[in-house]
Structure 1
Amino acid sequence: MARLAQLVLITFALALAGCSTAYYAAWEKLGVEKRDLMVDRVEDAQEAQEDGKEQFATALEQFKSVVEFDGGDLEDYYDSLNSELENSQEAAEEITGRINDVEDVAEDLFKEWENELDQYTNANFRRDSAAKLNETRSQYQRLITSMRRAESSIEPVLAVLNDNVLYLKHNLNARAIASLKGELATVNQNVDKLMSNMQAAIDESNSFIQSLNN
């Protein structure tokens, strides 16, 4: 058990050092192949998107509460909205990082798979493996396109939220609230699009994981 824990620590140290060959070799000693890592990273990206959906929904609700302000300390409302903006920015960074991780392992997986085709002496096995590789690549392309589409939907939401937070920061008054009301439709539209794209990416992740496990 101690040796296993040590190997895991070494693996993560190698990953942080950027040594991908040693990183994969260490995982393989644990019986974890690139395909397994691919599934794990897709699941991590999926989880980040699920968390992102919740965060942006919360930010939208906070924005609505500011627009519907009807007394109290407006600065408290500003502080809450600003906090949700910061949380949303962190969620966006997490999503991007997880998608990048998926791309990294996918590139290495497909490169290894393609190189190993030349090792077959059985023509039927080689043909079947090549067909599976092409199929998996096509499914992966749909996945990563969907993920990046969802990612690109984040920026318009953050941009509008940031504009409104900045405006409110320097205009804590009823007039500012009236101005924010005019932005609500845009925020709603951007968040709805983001939610739709996020869910599409999550659904595509499920399909991809299922195809790898079959």
Structure 2
Amino acid sequence: MTAVGIPGVDVPDHRGRTRLDRAGRDLTGNPGIVVRDVELLAAGWHVLRRTTFDQRRRDGSWTTEQRETYDRGNGATLLPYDVARRTVLLTRQFRFPAYVNGSPDGMLVETAAGLLDEQDAETAVRREAEEELGVVVGEVTRVFDVFTSPGSVTERVVCFAAPYTPADRVSAGGGLAEEGEDIEVLELDVDEALVMVDDGRIADAKTIILLQWAVLRGPLRA
């Protein structure tokens, strides 16, 4: 009898990947965590795993825990700002996960963002700025890295900011139609954007964090 392999583990899945069950098995940075097993639950475009590990509690006792992790890769996002006019460039697009979880119409206002897709973070964020916003920025500042939902999602997002002027607009933006993107570009006064945070019209976490950074510690401080 011929053994049947497991796609994504010992035979390639639909994206040609194997060894997807190896993530985390070699971690040694925390002596209070010992990974025992990693199960591949699903390997669609992204990867869902269940990991079993021993954890040493603060009182010295050990427990065995299981956690599911959703691995969609890492991303980068950019807040373009115009100091002279106190404006920022944002996007509006439909997000089904938000729509199915209480967003009235699923249309979210966000900073331009995307997955790294094997690029370095700065290259990726410049790509997204041109595709989504139609703007080519000069020097960018890496503000901070954030975990988006560390209870279950592995994604870490690198947050950038960069100055822009109207002369930096090279196209209408809108994203890539072949990837199903249909993105509206919004140029907003930063104070209006903050009002939108207060009243819920902006509810995206990375966008809120970058807007607040811009006016509290960044280039748009009053």
Q: Same fold (TM over 0.5)?
A: no
Q: TM-score range by the shorter chain?
A: under 0.3
Structure of greater Rg: 1
- Identify, as 1 or 2, the structure richer in helix: 1
Q: Greater RCO between the two (CA within 8 Å, min separation 6)?
A: 1
With the length of structure 2 as denominator, give the TM-score of the two structures: 0.23
Higher strand share: 2
